[in-house]
Structure 1
Amino acid sequence: MSEHTPRQVESIRQRTRRVVTSELLDRAQDLFAEYGYEAVTIDQIAASAGMSKRTFFRYFASKDALVLGKYDRQGQQFAAAIAARPPDEPVWVSLRRMFDGVVEYISDPELAKRVAEMDRVISASETLRAGQLERLQRGQNLVVEQIEKRSNGVITGLSATALVAAAFAALAAAHAHAQAHGVPFDTALDTAMFAVSHAGDSVRTVSEPEGE
């Protein structure tokens, strides 16, 4: 047996776990969007993914844990997106491009239903809101690590943390604005991130609907 076999087996198990976890998240979000979070049971989620309830509990301890698992996955995806950007690309451009997957997802009407249902569920639960904030922070920390790594020590510590926090704040503001005013999400996000990067300058704004 090769001395590298245990490490390889562990890696395969980790990848398998990520695949199954993602499958459960996607199936659950489809069910939540169609029937509502409260009406969907763990048995239904497990069955939709072709597994038993017992197997489901190997991946998530509860429906709430599954809901929050979305944000763990998202943080990992953001970090991977930053790691994949060209090393000589301006960091703010990389942070904007990091959100391309979110823009594409939310711009799909069917997938947007998932987002709306998950937002509703989380906003109604103090426990889920706290868990969401914790996981969002974890995700930002992963992105900060990638920013520090790709900058070769030029952007570190507070500077990296502030840049990433500003990008995520722009994302949240753009999402809220797009929902409230019917503005395309990508337009709102570009405007919000432009505003942050040009704070103090003459800032362009997203056109408001007439009568606002």
Structure 2
Amino acid sequence: MEFEFLISLLERKLKAPLPGKEAHLKMSPRPIDERRFVAEMPVGIRNSGVLILFYTDGKGSFFPLIKRPEYPGFHSGQMAFPGGKMEKTDENVIQTALRETEEEVGIDKHEVRVIGKLSDLYIPTSNFLVSPVVGFLEHPPEFVPDPKEVSRIVPTNLNQLLSAEIHKETVLEINESISLHTPYFEIDGEVVWGATAMILSELIHVLEQADS
């Protein structure tokens, strides 16, 4: 997708009603965890912001995904967007997403042009409410990953994301008692599933409804 058209399209579509749950369900692990979609959020919920950061190399449109290092925790080793939990010093989740992206992959937050947001998504296992912020750079990025936060950066071609060839399914053994039938995207040899895949599903839905 041509970069200028992509940005113009997103600027328009992100102001319209978003599909939310309809799109999220397409890439949700099964059995469905209905706690993701309740109207009233639980007590003690933690707000977080992630950034879908578009840029171009002059030929195609890209955004970075990151792989988390292995650590004791819910999201160890998983593929994600740059981002993290909201701090008291953040004015809003947009500022959270920009700050975390600067900290994790070295992109100056002042150089990111924010377009809007996709639908919030609740992650029951970690009690995070994730707000996906969408923005872009007017020049190719020079990523500087923080090794404590990022084990690798995967530049993701938007045309690849829109290809049916990377849409796959598997059974993930979470522990001895939990198995999840899981849709995922296979991107550069990595399994992109869970909340990240669900957010990408909404992005795809928005882009594929370009004529509506």
TM-score, normalised via structure 2 length? 0.23
Larger radius of gyration: 1
TM-score, normalised via structure 1 length? 0.23
Structure with greater proportional helix content: 1
Structure with greater proportional strand content: 2
